[in-house]
Structure 1
Amino acid sequence: MNAKKRIKPEDQYQLKSVTDPQLSKNGYDCIYIETTMCEEENTYSSHLFYINTNQPAETQQLTYGKGRNLAPRWSPDGSQIAFVSNRNNEVNQIFMLSMNGGEAKQLTNEPNGATNPIWSPDGKRIAFQSTVEKENLPEKNKDKPEPVEIERMKYKSDAKGLWSGDYQHIGVIDIASGEREWLTTGEQDYYLQCWSPDNQSIALLADLATDKDHSFNNDVYILDVGSKQMENMTKGVASFSHVSWSPDGKCLGLIGSKSTYKNASLSKIWTLDVFSGELTCLTEEWDVQVGDYVVADFHQSANASQILWAEDSSSFYFLASDHGNTVLYFGTVEGAMYPALLEERHHIYGVSTGGTIDKAIVAISTPTNPGDLYLLNVTSGEKTRLTNINQAFFEETAVADAEVLQYQSIDGWELQGWLIKPINHETREKYPLIVEIHGGPHTMYANTYVHEFQVLAAEGYAVLYTNPRGSHGYGQAFVDAVRGDYGGKDYEDIMTAVDYVLEYDEGIDRERLGVTGGSYGGFMTNWIVGHTNRFKAAVTQRSISNWISFYGVSDIGYYFTDWQIKGQLNDIEKLWKHSPLAFVERVDTPLLILHSENDLRCPIEQAEQFYIALKHHNKQAKFIRFPQANHELSRSGHPNLRMKRLHYIKNWFNQYI
């Protein structure tokens, strides 16, 4: 029998991603998205697929051609699908497709595109989100660049670049006439959430504070579609997201946080009585993070954040991040919360119920499977596989599983990590180890597929990845423990993991260790090479090196630095104390620096400073700059750059380890 092939970076061109399942109200029709990378066009292709869950062996592709087709949403009667597509140009618009066949019909033609289609319950209208430019802006001419006038602190974002005088607004289009009407206007941002069951109102999110540069709360508003009058329902109690209306129209389900611990605060489930205005936190005492906070490098367009009401209007489903898993939970308005699907190792990154209480479609990834769809019978717990989209690839390609590790920190915290052993490790006497560090820091590694880890395992490396303090999934105290202590106990947690795994697995060559990470993981990689020489090579990605300059150059710098380091510019000593640049003279580890030119989250000047300082002190360093890429390079950047990034990482480790 022929041996299986080993995974390489370019295999991502062959692998398919399945995301955003949407179950119809009839309980058996399901739409989902398949996404692939296109090597020749150097872009992504996403298409809608249909599956009848009563006949899962049969699937039907609904969209074709180039471009991306995303966010499919069933009409209330199940006869039509609204979706987002850039098929006619580079701007996303809303289209509608009949399940009886025929071509998709374009519904919107907004200059800056349209997204987030939401059907009115009577099926006559679709609300959508669009970017609307401020009135009286000068006409843009790409051949005549104009100065950018800035008067706000929130003037750029890693996702959108420099703010150009536009705002997020909500429109609604009449299906029969094709007429569009704006529900919101003015120099404010409004974010569409859901319709009321009686078709009369829309729930939206907005921050209408006068000083938005120092405001970080989104309130929930109810907008009367006819009069366009809005009422603030939450009045600054907390910052909310992901609003969903109960089927009986009496209640809103919300995800929100009082931000007691700034961006390290756990998200909670709330309900809002629409008529009395009573706001209730259902999970106040629950020490679990609501939502999917897993970090990986494979899926795009995953969408599973809001609570999903059942038809009884008193129960619902939601996801929570818990000890390296995302778990599907069942909840009630009385405050009962218990798992609806709890398995030993899985990452649920998509869920849809169609409004029922007895079944759900779940998208699940594991360390050895990028992801597939399953039909869950909630009552019996029985799970039926609906897709196996990468079966052919994995029948001929080897993949390495991950072992879960449990160990203790120096000061007694329970810690979790994973070890992937290299492919065919039993044939080697000793094998090197790469330590991977996630970003955030308030995300978590999990029981999910990460292509980068598989590439390294195929190259003959063991891969250790862990959740040090600051990670989600282990309670409020744990996720908050990193704030004000970057490079302290979090660094010790990672070194403890290394010590533990060297004792746990005698096959690891303790003299051949490497380390890498991105964003916060890049900060920690920079910190590690300035505080220990035990690693033979390191790769720092989209990193932070200097908290003093980060304060003013990052799109989030002025508040993130305060929240995370607990230091302002009047405390230069503290900011410098936590800056890896301060320890550059100690670095003896060969360091590869990977950074995107358009990264506004951790701007490239952070890499430039570290690189120049290293070279000035005659250290072994190499700097790779990725054009036309931002902070999301490893997850959604140009496919060719994603491939080159993986090659740079493995080649650097191959050279020095």
Structure 2
Amino acid sequence: SNRTEAPDLTPDRDDIYLVSVKDGETNKLETEGASKYALSFSPDGRFLAYIGDVEEGKWWQNARLWLASVDGSQPVRKLSQSFDYHLMAFSGSDTGGGNMMSPTWAPDGNTIYVQALHKGDVALMSFSPIGDAITVNQLIETHGIVGPYTFDKAHQKLAYVLGNQDGPGQLYVRDLNKGSDRQLTKLNQSWLRRKALGNIEEVWFDAKDGYELHGWILKPNGFDPSKQYPSILEIHGGPQTQYDRGFMHEFFFLAAAGYVVYWSNPRGGQGYGEAHCKAIYNNWGTVDYYDVMAWADYMREKSYIDPRRMGVTGGSYGGYMTNMIIGRAPDYFKAAVTQRSVSNFFSMWGSSDVNWQLQQSVGDNKPPHANLDKYWDQSPMKYINNAKTPTLVIHSEFDMRVAQEQGEQVFVALRKLGVDTEMVLFPGEPHGLSRDGRTDRRVQRLNHILRWFDKYLK
């Protein structure tokens, strides 16, 4: 509960209250941190584990695992202090929202299990706070996305869902004593066998300053290295998230149409440590822009990539970066699709449901009218006058995160400049249309993207 005098101005500030079942009496629990979620009591009821942010509005910080004593007799402990990864289950995928589980306790109360974003995986980690020492281990070492999980009563077996780039997910059981895993389901396998998905190559490459970055390349089925292919660069949203080793239907859809599709995790995202994420704090469109362009340069040098038929797309932050690219590198890509995109931080501050976080991460914690140059320097509209790239603008009318006006600014500017452009609006759809929208409109969105790229890259 947020019981400050102006909770609408401090929505990242939470306290935890205990309510007596007997008489309804409410008592505030002694805790630390900003926003708090995913609460879980210890088996003996003496402690409460929770996931929470360290400071308000600072997206670059890892969400941490905290431990508070219910009677307030012991100081609050930050169990994941030395673990430099974000405790969260949501990653960049179009298969729906993340399966974030509350911390799970071992029956003896000596170990707590949580999910974490970890270099392209959603991993299942264990934290054992014995005395002053805290032992951290990764429970499942197989690459992929660990979704819902549960232990048997004897704590001898673990049932869990694991997804990967070959399919949305399967149910497994692990024998904790033997460390062995057994797959229980083969859902969608007969359907997947009838599809020509293509092959994914995982790579690490260097940014312009030598920083190591992580990416993936999807080649269409029947790929012939002696030929040149049209390609599409995909840029994830957030930016505080990651592309992962989960199933991404959109990428396979585009590859099935004959495109090489490639994506990466530039600085500014989660999953690679706080320094990786903090790199663009109050400096969007700087090192992250150069990381994305370094990835495009890396691909452009491949003999099978046709440099005259390269496209770029992304949604939310990915749309922001797409807008940056068409203004700052107007001759690089032959076509672009910008989706639910950020274009002008000044106006977004007054129309977004996360304006307090924008103020922290873009404006040095000042509103735009008190720091105009800072907001404008990081806004794609500053560069839009250079744009030449034919661009499709996709937006949802009920987008509360990035309002419709953000896409309209790009569309109107491109029209005034004489750049070939269209705008597609989806009525009644939210910011997360690509993963949570109405099914027929999700299909329409994909067809619009393919239509635009086919027009200019085929």
Range class of TM-score, shorter chain: over 0.9
Secondary structure, aligned partner of 2:441: helix
Amino acid in the other structure paired with 1:278: P
**Structure 1, residues 350-405: CA drift from partner, whole Å, max 9, x if none?**
22224553321111111111111111222322111111120120121122232111
Amino acid in the other structure paired with 1:263: W
Secondary structure, aligned partner of 2:116: strand
Q: Quick one: distance in 1 between partners of 2:327 and 2:400?
A: 25
Does residue 636 (structure 1) correspond to residue 436 (structure 2)? The answer is yes
- Matches for 1:306-325 after TM superposition, within 5 Å: 306-325=102-121
Does residue 285 (structure 1) correspond to residue 85 (structure 2)? The answer is no
Contact 1:614 1:620 in 2 (8 A): yes
Residue equivalent to 1:514: 311
TM-score (norm 2): 0.94
More helix by share: 2
Q: Quick one: distance in 1 between partners of 2:151 and 2:325?
A: 45
Does residue 264 (structure 1) correspond to residue 28 (structure 2)? The answer is no
Secondary structure, aligned partner of 1:499: helix
Residue equivalent to 2:449: 649
Shift of 1:307: 1.2
Residue equivalent to 1:273: 69
Q: Which runs of 5+ in 2 are unaligned?
A: none
Amino acid in the other structure paired with 2:7: K
Residue 576 to residue 440, structure 1, CA distance change in 2 (3 Å) = same
Amino acid in the other structure paired with 2:8: D
Residue equivalent to 1:458: 256
Amino acid in the other structure paired with 2:417: H
Q: Quick one: distance in 2 between partners of 1:243 and 1:615?
A: 50
Residue equivalent to 1:613: 413
Residue equivalent to 1:568: 367
Q: Quick one: distance in 2 between partners of 1:280 and 1:356?
A: 28
Contact 2:57 2:356 in 1 (8 A): no
Contact 1:341 1:381 in 2 (8 A): no
Does residue 336 (structure 1) correspond to residue 123 (structure 2)? The answer is no
Shift of 1:237: 4.2
Q: Quick one: distance in 1 between partners of 2:93 and 2:233?
A: 15
Residue equivalent to 1:82: none
Residue equivalent to 2:9: 214
Q: Quick one: distance in 1 between partners of 2:441 and 2:170?
A: 26
Q: Quick one: distance in 2 between partners of 1:546 and 1:317?
A: 41
Residue equivalent to 1:467: 265
Secondary structure, aligned partner of 1:357: coil
Q: Please, which of 208, 233, 253 is the counterpart of residue 435 of structure 1?
A: 233
Shift of 1:235: 5.0
**Structure 1, residues 65-121: CA drift from partner, whole Å, max 9, x if none?**
xxxxxxxxxxxxxxxxxxxxxxxxxxxxxxxxxxxxxxxxxxxxxxxxxxxxxxxxx
Residue equivalent to 1:554: 352
Q: Quick one: distance in 2 between partners of 1:233 and 1:622?
A: 53
Percent identity over paired residues: 33
Residue 452 to residue 490, structure 1, CA distance change in 2 (3 Å) = same
**Structure 1, residues 577-634: CA drift from partner, whole Å, max 9, x if none?**
2211122221110000000011111000111111111111111111101111010111
Q: Quick one: distance in 2 between partners of 1:513 and 1:649?
A: 14
Q: Quick one: distance in 1 between partners of 2:291 and 2:429?
A: 32
Shift of 1:261: 7.0
- Matches for 1:25-64 after TM superposition, within 5 Å: none
Residue 354 to residue 291, structure 1, CA distance change in 2 (3 Å) = farther
Contact 1:308 1:355 in 2 (8 A): no
Residue equivalent to 1:4: none
Residue 261 to residue 475, structure 1, CA distance change in 2 (3 Å) = farther
Shift of 1:506: 2.0
Q: Please, which of 396, 399, 405 is the counterpart of residue 203 of structure 2?
A: 405
Secondary structure, aligned partner of 1:645: helix
Secondary structure, aligned partner of 2:319: helix
Q: Quick one: distance in 2 between partners of 1:261 and 1:643?
A: 35
Shift of 1:428: 6.4
Residue 260 to residue 207, structure 1, CA distance change in 2 (3 Å) = closer
Amino acid in the other structure paired with 1:534: Y
Q: Quick one: distance in 1 between partners of 2:374 and 2:263?
A: 29
**Structure 1, residues 542-593: CA drift from partner, whole Å, max 9, x if none?**
0011111111011122442332343522121221222111222211100000
Q: Quick one: distance in 1 between partners of 2:316 and 2:154?
A: 40
Secondary structure, aligned partner of 2:208: coil
Secondary structure, aligned partner of 2:242: coil
Q: Quick one: distance in 1 between partners of 2:363 and 2:105?
A: 39
**Structure 1, residues 325-368: CA drift from partner, whole Å, max 9, x if none?**
1111222122111111112x311122222455332111111111
Secondary structure, aligned partner of 1:530: helix
Contact 1:310 1:355 in 2 (8 A): no
Aligned residue pairs: how many? 449
Q: Quick one: distance in 1 between partners of 2:135 and 2:309?
A: 50
Secondary structure, aligned partner of 1:498: helix
Amino acid in the other structure paired with 2:155: I
Contact 1:425 1:431 in 2 (8 A): no
Contact 1:416 1:466 in 2 (8 A): yes
Contact 2:228 2:304 in 1 (8 A): yes
Residue 477 to residue 355, structure 1, CA distance change in 2 (3 Å) = farther
Secondary structure, aligned partner of 1:264: coil
TM-score (norm 1): 0.66
Q: Quick one: distance in 1 between partners of 2:314 and 2:100?
A: 26
Residue 261 to residue 562, structure 1, CA distance change in 2 (3 Å) = closer
Shift of 1:490: 0.3
Contact 1:309 1:355 in 2 (8 A): no
Q: Quick one: distance in 1 between partners of 2:266 and 2:100?
A: 25
Residue equivalent to 2:171: 373
Residue 394 to residue 318, structure 1, CA distance change in 2 (3 Å) = same
Q: Which runs of 5+ in 1 are unaligned?
A: 1-205
Q: Quick one: distance in 2 between partners of 1:413 and 1:387?
A: 40
Amino acid in the other structure paired with 1:629: E
**Structure 1, residues 38-79: CA drift from partner, whole Å, max 9, x if none?**
xxxxxxxxxxxxxxxxxxxxxxxxxxxxxxxxxxxxxxxxxx
Secondary structure, aligned partner of 1:398: coil
Q: Quick one: distance in 1 between partners of 2:153 and 2:402?
A: 41
Secondary structure, aligned partner of 1:526: helix
Secondary structure, aligned partner of 2:350: helix
Q: Quick one: distance in 1 between partners of 2:140 and 2:240?
A: 24
Residue 315 to residue 536, structure 1, CA distance change in 2 (3 Å) = same
Residue equivalent to 1:588: 388
Residue equivalent to 2:38: 242
Residue equivalent to 1:55: none
Contact 1:217 1:236 in 2 (8 A): no
Does residue 298 (structure 1) correspond to residue 98 (structure 2)? The answer is no
Q: Quick one: distance in 2 between partners of 1:613 and 1:635?
A: 29
Residue equivalent to 1:496: 294
Q: Quick one: distance in 1 between partners of 2:173 and 2:358?
A: 41
**Structure 1, residues 304-334: CA drift from partner, whole Å, max 9, x if none?**
3321111111112221111101111222122
Shift of 1:236: 5.2
Greater Cα radius of gyration, structure 1 or 2: 1
Q: Quick one: distance in 2 between partners of 1:526 and 1:395?
A: 37
Residue 636 to residue 212, structure 1, CA distance change in 2 (3 Å) = same
Shift of 1:226: 1.1
